[in-house]
Structure 1
Amino acid sequence: MGQTPIWRTIALALTGDIAEGRYTTGDRLPTEAQLAAAHGVNRHTVRRALADLAEQGLVHPRRGAGVFVSAQVTDYPIGKRVRYHQNISASGKIPGKQVLSLITRAADVAEAEALGLNPGDPVHVYDGLSLADAHPIAVFQSAFPAVRLPGLPEALAENGSVTRALQRCGVADYTRISTRLTARAADPVQARHLRLTEGAPVLHSICINADPSGRPVEYGKTIFAGERVTLTLDDNPD
């Protein structure tokens, strides 16, 4: 694996400063000259790092005034009961979902195993983007047992909310029974959806959600933009 470009290291350092509250929304970042001196690089390298943060929506330049923080990194709790809209709203941001596709197809081996189905059984598959203040923070794919939830695609098409769609299909509540997290590099499709540079760090989450009886209702795969989201472990059993 090649060495991380210096501009990427600077971008990650600035993202960390924003995430840890050293710079908050509306604050002006150090000047290009100050950042260049601090990191021992030329201003062109610093400019490339700042451009990357601007592409992600974390900062915005003002002509003649400098570069300002436009958004802080989003804290996203991972626990037994994960509700996207509640989590994002609790962070002080406006949640949103964008539906990319809704199809019904045969379950692959992983989906069938997670949902207690046979490979080839029908599943509803929901691909979409998760947004915070209109900025994409995650791209996801969820699979649901089609025979048990025949009206789910129509319910999801209305507003994208999994919780509301499941409620309409008779699943009043659900909780997470397993989560697996790994760090990866964004592939070209993920980078395009998340407005990242190809190869940027992302967090890959695989989870299974079940109804109160323990019967799986959702097998989900989510790719979080590593520079925009901090995943936190929620120890609250409720």
Structure 2
Amino acid sequence: MPPSPSQSSRTAVWKSIAISRTDDIAQGRYSTGHKLPSEAQLSARFGVNRHTVRRALSDMSDQGLVHARRGAGVFVAAAPTDYPIGKRVRFHQNISRGGQTPAKRILALETRAADKTEAEALELDPGAQVHVYDGLSLADDQPIALFQSVFPAIPLPQMLTALEDMQSVTAALKACGIADYTRLETRITAKQATATQALHLRISEGAPILRTTGVNVDPDGRPVEFGRTWFAGDRVTLTIDGQDV
């Protein structure tokens, strides 16, 4: 007899355990290098057998959150990266301040018509041409976020070429004549990772992610970038500078 819709939609016990342990790491209850409770302790706590606990820990290991040491136990491999959100958000500076090595990987570069949301954010006519940069942000070679940056094409005709050469929005904008820019607004929404997002971020489908959307403007207040970013929820702690509130 096939499972009922309510049964098939339930979260698997092992996944629930993995989410709980991941949240413990994200909340700082276990820091980098800290040993997690043993399989026996976790089995007793959650009322399951060791096989279920082992599968949860294996999933966390696949995500790069923990690693096992033979005969010693399971240890936290990485702690969440503090990522300040403010008027001058700069990816490389944010990651470098935390003592990690930043990197970006280009996934796609294209010019196309703006959708309604993009046109409104960039103050463009419906269907106006925009340059789009899809990429992956990494800290110490671990993916922490997917992003999409959208730029008005007419005032920035060489933007895609500059991005391909420099792989830095700040440097590319400067090469195109925008010496400085600031964040006009940022919105943060909790989401669940889609299958594609999970693949890129090396997390489980349905894992918690944080989506931010923001608009950057030049010194004259003209929008130069509309950005969407999807952060792996267990790898990044978004912080807000009090000076920007």
1:90 partnered with 2:97? yes
1:44 partnered with 2:13? no
Deviations 1:138-191 (A, max 9, x none): 111110011111111111112321111111111111111111111111111111
Farther-moved stretch of structure 1 (11-20 vs 154-163): 11-20
Structure 2 segments unaligned to the other structure (5+ residues): 1-5
Q: Quote the RMSD (CA, aligned, Å).
A: 1.7
How far is the alpha carbon of 1:13 from its aligned partner? 2.8
Cα 1:230–1:3 change in 2 (3 A) is farther
Aligned counterparts of 1:157 and 1:235: Cα–Cα separation in 2 = 35
> Rg larger in 1 or in 2?
2
Instruction: Specify the code of the residue in structure 1 equivalent to 2:37.
Output: P
Given the alignment, which residue of 126, 136, 140 partners 1:129?
136
Aligned length: 238
Deviations 1:24-49 (A, max 9, x none): 22222222112212222221221122
Aligned counterparts of 2:134 and 2:213: Cα–Cα separation in 1 = 14
Aligned counterparts of 1:141 and 1:62: Cα–Cα separation in 2 = 38
Contact 1:12 1:227 in 2 (8 A): no
1:111 partnered with 2:118? yes
Instruction: Specify the code of the residue in structure 2 equivalent to 1:134.
Output: D
Instruction: Specify the code of the residue in structure 2 equivalent to 1:40.
Output: G
Contact 2:130 2:150 in 1 (8 A): yes
Given the alignment, which residue of 197, 202, 220 partners 2:209?
202
1:66 partnered with 2:48? no
User: Which residue matches 2:158?
Assistant: 151
Given the alignment, which residue of 219, 224, 238 partners 1:212?
219
Aligned counterparts of 1:224 and 1:65: Cα–Cα separation in 2 = 32
Contact 2:146 2:197 in 1 (8 A): yes
Instruction: Specify the code of the residue in structure 1 equivalent to 2:68.
Output: P
How far is the alpha carbon of 1:8 from its aligned partner? 2.9
Please give the TM-score of this superposition, normalised by the length of structure 2.
0.91
How far is the alpha carbon of 1:193 from its aligned partner? 0.8
Contact 1:130 1:138 in 2 (8 A): yes
Aligned counterparts of 2:80 and 2:212: Cα–Cα separation in 1 = 18
Instruction: Specify the code of the residue in structure 2 equivalent to 1:47.
Output: R
Please give the TM-score of this superposition, normalised by the length of structure 1.
0.93
Farther-moved stretch of structure 1 (42-51 vs 218-227): 42-51
Aligned counterparts of 2:193 and 2:27: Cα–Cα separation in 1 = 23
Given the alignment, which residue of 118, 141, 149 partners 1:142?
149
Structure 1 segments unaligned to the other structure (5+ residues): none
SS of the residue 1:48 aligns to: helix
User: Which residue matches 1:16?
Assistant: 23
Instruction: Specify the code of the residue in structure 2 equivalent to 1:121.
Output: A
Aligned counterparts of 1:153 and 1:236: Cα–Cα separation in 2 = 33
Aligned counterparts of 1:123 and 1:161: Cα–Cα separation in 2 = 18
Identity of aligned residues (%): 63
Deviations 1:174-228 (A, max 9, x none): 1111111111111111111111111111111111111111100000111111121
Cα 1:234–1:143 change in 2 (3 A) is same
Cα 1:184–1:226 change in 2 (3 A) is same
Matching of residues 152-167 of structure 1 within 5 Å: 152-167=159-174
Deviations 1:91-123 (A, max 9, x none): 221111010011111111111111111122211
